[in-house]
Structure 1
Amino acid sequence: MARDDTFTPFTGPRLLLAGLLLGLTNFMVVLDTTIANVSVGHIAGSLGVSTTQGTWVITSYAVAEAICVPLTGWLAGRFGTVRTFIVGMIGFGIFSVLCGLSTSLTMIVAARIGQGLCGGPLMPLTQTMLLRIFPREKHGAAMGLWAMTTVTAPILGPILGGSISDSWSWHWIFFINVPIALLCIFGALRLLVPAETLKQKLGIDTVGLVLLVVWIGALQIMLDIGREHDWFEDPTIIVLALVALVGGALFIAWELTEEHPIVDLRVFRHRGYVVAVGTLSFAFATFFATVVLIPQWLQGSLGYTSTYAGYATAFTGMGAVIMSPIVPRLMKRYDPRALVCFGILWLGLSSLLRVHWTSGADFWSLAFPQMVQGFGMPFFFIPLTTIALAAVQQEETASAAGLMSFLRTMGGAIGTSLSTTLFANNISVARSEMVGRLNEDTTVQALQGNGFSPDQVRAAVEQLVTQESSALAITHMFLLGSIIFVVAASAIWLAPRPKRLPPPGAAH
């Protein structure tokens, strides 16, 4: 990215206000990755679609954001960092309004894609501008501000989403972005314009971008609608699978031979990077799947409101906030691979604690594993990012960081799609097994002996089967998740121990 060497970092009140402005922007964008998680039930019910279809609201945003992240460097270099930031904020605000005004699943998914495309560059841009406006000796404080907003936003997301959906309407989880976006746009125009970077006439890998959108889009649509279309029994799914397969192969071939690729796949020649990114993708996909499934189960089977589902899931952030400043210090004394292994195994432990959940579990039985999980998250994210970026050459750091962010976000989206499908299938299997047993003569006779009419017996059996089959299905998902975490924790030892630290700020 071109940089005006005559620019002098901000000082005094201007630095404080600009730093808070960028922190608020980052907070808002990260918040939108989790604020809709506990509101899926409200959104699906309002639009007349299934809960599985409702999760498209989450996956569409994640996929669009992932696709746009690799473009951030090109956009900032071509149009200027501050200009790209302002245009992104304007688009984010407009699409937030459209999300809130949506009256159909198609409309809200399209608006969420637009929101993700505009919001994708904002997160790395806030980091870039914080490092630019802060004096070099204060870069640690700048990254501390950025990291804190990144960690705290997912904590407040479920709480805000649940409270707003229950107290007002799910539409307002998107409308609340508008005044924040307007404030950030106004603040950027008044404060950040002097920090604008020089523009360059940069070419863009158009073919690579088109192939990326095509194969990722086809893959995600296939995963989202596969279950409803009976997977490969439907020609539509077969076509989508072929498009994803052929498009992915062409994308890899093109990017490996393009002089200025949109995604630099050549960084995969480094063993440490491959292992770290693979571990990150699988572990994050498993982690994010639980983040989406738990609120659905709490609301759909246990009768939790969106607010209390948000409270139960938000406890994850408490441990993460406590441990985030401690883990970087431990990295100076211990092998980062050992810290990653410990962190992922800790996530596996928290998943095993959930295997014992039942339909009669109280609030603290549900919240405690969330809190336990939070303590392991910094051990997982921070050293793993360091291992990945330390494995590549200095000049490849930016490309490697962008690709890693892309794969992490895609992992979360794919994990969500696969887990919701597997969860629904597990419910169907458990239900079919339970119905046969509960409809046996002894069960029916016992209920009728307690004064139940035949209709009441059928209703009681139906309610019990629905509740218990979902409980069995969710615990099976947690057991599978714990196994994946153990495999991922073991895989990190295939990476060499990093011999250097990545540049300041890169690990974020």
Structure 2
Amino acid sequence: MSGAPAAAQPDPRTIPHRGLITVSIMLATVMQVLDTTIANVALPNMQGSLQASQDQINWVLTSYIVAAAIMTPVTGWLSDRFGLRQVFIVSAAGFVATSMACGLATSLEEMILFRLLQGLCGAALVPLSQTVLLTINTREEHGRAMAIWGAGIMVGPIIGPTLGGWLTETFNWRYVFFVNLPIGALALAGMVLFLPNTPKRQRGFDFFGFAMLSLFIGALQLFLDRGEQADWFASAEIWIELGLAVSGLWVFTLHVTGREHAFIDPKIFTDRNLVTALVMIFVVGMILLAGLALLPPMLQNILGYPVVTTGIVLAPRGVGTMISMLVVGRLVGRVDTRILIFTGLCLTAISLWQMSGFSIAMDETPIIVSGVVQGLGLGLVFVPLSTLAFATLEPRFRADAASLFSLMRNIGSSVGISIVSVELAHNMVISKADLASHITPFDPNFTNVASTMPLDETTMMAVLNQAASAQAAMVAYVDDFKLMMIISLCAIPLLALMSPPKKQAAAGGGDSHAAVME
């Protein structure tokens, strides 16, 4: 929806306590991002405690994802209508309260309800933190600000499973939610004390547009999340969800383009950098969380790593991301931003190529090396892309654009996880059938192996079947890594659509001190 442009404000450098504001909002951001992955490892323990089936316990994740996805686009309107400070504080407080309620839940119904409310409260935290950092820093400082923001966004999901596993093993699954209390309390204290008040813009609420967008997002998330469990298009549920998603998107598109005061102002999509960045962050979301969805089960189920060891082996990926972001924050503005993104995509593709060489007989070295390379690559993509997306955008569109940026990253993650899960299951069956076809008394390789195994025929066949299953699973994982490598390479040509840095400066230089903070 359009509204009156926000008045230009004083130099952001005059805003006091910028460092403390940054720490406070980043604590809230990390708290929310952690919850996208930290609860996954606790599901088995949660399932027994809440007396839920495998299908039912998955709604603990689904309810949170769907609620957060639906509420994310409305963040811009809420911050304009009620004030960014007020919405941020209420969202953080609600997130902490619902986290405690999740930890105290005594039934599956309570848990799903509290997780849904947690998703509604937490949806605004990530886009608002990005908006605040863009607002309290001048354009010259946006690269460094986005490096700080990106560190929280990308490292959070990486350490989530490790922290969740440690809390579950050391205490119990309830502490996966209780851990938000100290983090949230510090974040809230900082925001209440230091976050400035914000001017408000009168914007009417386009309920029909919001309803259609919510229908699309909610149905799409259910389609992606429930597809594997419901056997995809063999299920009527999946067809209904797909139909609702397509219908919602179609009606929303017609509504936005044909209405003067639509839920999302169509003018926001005239900024080529933003539109291109939205497509690219969709791809980054696919690669980041899809990879995190593949590696832990591969390490635990095939290589036999314990949960804590899995976290330690994956930790260097986060270290690589942190190093990359610290470096790239200083390079943005000095080096062509598109070159940084190109380098990051190439490094990401190289890491996935390295991962396509994984085998059952390998040690930790290939996992650590490829993880560091991928961390460096994703950091080089995420920070410049976050900066470039807003380089030529009017400041009044920042909150809406930040919401769309987070939404596309989350949808990309859901799509990526669904794609790799489908391909993994499909390729595992094919590889297993191919390997099993060679286990016959007429195959000389089988005869040679059988002669060295002092086992009876039944036991020998069971051992060989287990080995074939593990090998087939590894082949399927390798195929997924190859697919992700191709996806990352396909994003490179999009860089040609983005404006070079000199044009960015020309287009946005006049807005360097325009902000929405008081």
Pair in the same fold by TM > 0.5: yes
Q: What's the secondary structure of 1:326's corresponding residue?
A: helix
Name the counterpart of 1:162: 165
Name the counterpart of 2:245: 244
Q: CA, structure 1 residues 439+214, in 2 after alignment: closer, same or farther (shift >3 Å)?
A: farther
Name the counterpart of 1:316: 317
Q: CA, structure 1 residues 94+425, in 2 after alignment: closer, same or farther (shift >3 Å)?
A: farther
Report how far residue 129 of structure 1 moved. Answer: 5.1
Name the counterpart of 1:96: 99
Aligned pairs for 1:233-382 (under 5 A) are 233-382=234-383
Does structure 1 residue 476 correspond to structure 2 residue 479? yes
Task: Determine the C-alpha separation between the residues in 1 that align with 2:19 and 2:15.
Answer: 9
Report how far residue 216 of structure 1 moved. Answer: 1.4
Of 496, 500, 504 in structure 2, the residue corresponding to residue 500 of structure 1 is 504
Report how far residue 423 of structure 1 moved. Answer: 1.5
Report how far residue 276 of structure 1 moved. Answer: 3.0
Unpaired segments ≥5 residues, structure 1:
none
1:349 partner amino acid: I
Task: Determine the C-alpha separation between the residues in 1 that align with 2:312 and 2:266.
Answer: 40
Task: Determine the C-alpha separation between the residues in 2 that align with 1:504 and 1:53.
Answer: 50
* More deviation, 405-414/271-280: 271-280
Q: CA, structure 1 residues 212+139, in 2 after alignment: closer, same or farther (shift >3 Å)?
A: closer
Name the counterpart of 2:198: 197
Could you list the per-position Cα deviations for residues 85-134 of structure 1 after superposition, in whole angstroms to 9, with x for gaps in the alignment? 23212321233234335577776555433222211212333455567789
Report how far residue 475 of structure 1 moved. Answer: 0.4
Task: Determine the C-alpha separation between the residues in 2 that align with 1:211 and 1:172.
Answer: 37
Identity of aligned residues (%): 33
Q: CA, structure 1 residues 321+227, in 2 after alignment: closer, same or farther (shift >3 Å)?
A: closer
Q: What's the secondary structure of 2:261's corresponding residue?
A: coil
Report how far residue 480 of structure 1 moved. Answer: 0.7
Does structure 1 residue 21 correspond to structure 2 residue 18? no
Could you list the per-position Cα deviations for residues 33-89 of structure 1 after superposition, in whole angstroms to 9, with x for gaps in the alignment? 343455566656877655x98776556544433432322232223333333223212
Q: CA, structure 1 residues 258+328, in 2 after alignment: closer, same or farther (shift >3 Å)?
A: same
Report how far residue 290 of structure 1 moved. Answer: 0.7
* More deviation, 122-131/365-374: 122-131
- Contact kept? 1:3, 1:197, Cα under 8 Å: no
Task: Determine the C-alpha separation between the residues in 1 that align with 2:270 and 2:96.
Answer: 40
Q: What's the secondary structure of 2:493's corresponding residue?
A: helix
- Contact kept? 1:70, 1:262, Cα under 8 Å: no
Does structure 1 residue 153 correspond to structure 2 residue 156? yes
- Contact kept? 1:76, 1:84, Cα under 8 Å: yes
Aligned pairs for 1:30-41 (under 5 A) are 30-36=33-39, 38-39=41-42
Of 63, 68, 77 in structure 2, the residue corresponding to residue 65 of structure 1 is 68
Q: What's the secondary structure of 2:504's corresponding residue?
A: coil
Name the counterpart of 1:82: 85
Task: Determine the C-alpha separation between the residues in 1 that align with 2:249 and 2:310.
Answer: 38
TM-score by length of 2: 0.83
Could you list the per-position Cα deviations for residues 198-227 of structure 1 after superposition, in whole angstroms to 9, with x for gaps in the alignment? 556542121111112212111221222223
Q: CA, structure 1 residues 105+415, in 2 after alignment: closer, same or farther (shift >3 Å)?
A: farther
Task: Determine the C-alpha separation between the residues in 2 that align with 1:438 and 1:269.
Answer: 60
Unpaired segments ≥5 residues, structure 2:
none
Aligned pairs for 1:206-245 (under 5 A) are 206-245=207-246
Report how far residue 287 of structure 1 moved. Answer: 2.8
Q: CA, structure 1 residues 431+375, in 2 after alignment: closer, same or farther (shift >3 Å)?
A: same
Name the counterpart of 2:431: 430
Task: Determine the C-alpha separation between the residues in 1 that align with 2:296 and 2:175.
Answer: 19
Task: Determine the C-alpha separation between the residues in 2 that align with 1:275 and 1:16.
Answer: 31
- Contact kept? 1:281, 1:407, Cα under 8 Å: yes
Does structure 1 residue 121 correspond to structure 2 residue 116? no
Q: What's the secondary structure of 1:390's corresponding residue?
A: coil
Could you list the per-position Cα deviations for residues 154-210 of structure 1 after superposition, in whole angstroms to 9, with x for gaps in the alignment? 453333123223323333212211233344445545x258x3335565421211111
Name the Cα RMSD after superposition: 3.7
TM-score by length of 1: 0.85
Report how far residue 380 of structure 1 moved. Answer: 1.0
- Contact kept? 1:226, 1:237, Cα under 8 Å: yes
Report how far residue 313 of structure 1 moved. Answer: 2.0
* More deviation, 90-99/470-479: 90-99
Could you list the per-position Cα deviations for residues 324-377 of structure 1 after superposition, in whole angstroms to 9, with x for gaps in the alignment? 233244343443223222211211110010011112221222121111111112
Task: Determine the C-alpha separation between the residues in 2 that align with 1:321 and 1:356.
Answer: 25
Of 169, 174, 182 in structure 2, the residue corresponding to residue 171 of structure 1 is 174
1:377 partner amino acid: L
Q: What's the secondary structure of 2:437's corresponding residue?
A: helix
Q: CA, structure 1 residues 218+95, in 2 after alignment: closer, same or farther (shift >3 Å)?
A: same
* More deviation, 413-422/247-256: 413-422
Task: Determine the C-alpha separation between the residues in 1 that align with 2:471 and 2:465.
Answer: 10
- Contact kept? 1:38, 1:309, Cα under 8 Å: no
Q: CA, structure 1 residues 454+166, in 2 after alignment: closer, same or farther (shift >3 Å)?
A: farther
Q: CA, structure 1 residues 8+386, in 2 after alignment: closer, same or farther (shift >3 Å)?
A: closer
Report how far residue 252 of structure 1 moved. Answer: 1.1
- Contact kept? 2:100, 2:178, Cα under 8 Å: yes
Could you list the per-position Cα deviations for residues 232-264 of structure 1 after superposition, in whole angstroms to 9, with x for gaps in the alignment? 232222222211111110011112223333333
Task: Determine the C-alpha separation between the residues in 2 that align with 1:146 and 1:252.
Answer: 31
Does structure 1 residue 485 correspond to structure 2 residue 496? no
Q: CA, structure 1 residues 453+110, in 2 after alignment: closer, same or farther (shift >3 Å)?
A: farther
* More deviation, 274-283/105-114: 105-114
Q: CA, structure 1 residues 340+214, in 2 after alignment: closer, same or farther (shift >3 Å)?
A: same
- Contact kept? 1:41, 1:296, Cα under 8 Å: no
Task: Determine the C-alpha separation between the residues in 2 that align with 1:159 and 1:326.
Answer: 26
* More deviation, 456-465/392-401: 392-401
Task: Determine the C-alpha separation between the residues in 2 that align with 1:362 and 1:397.
Answer: 46
* More deviation, 155-164/133-142: 133-142
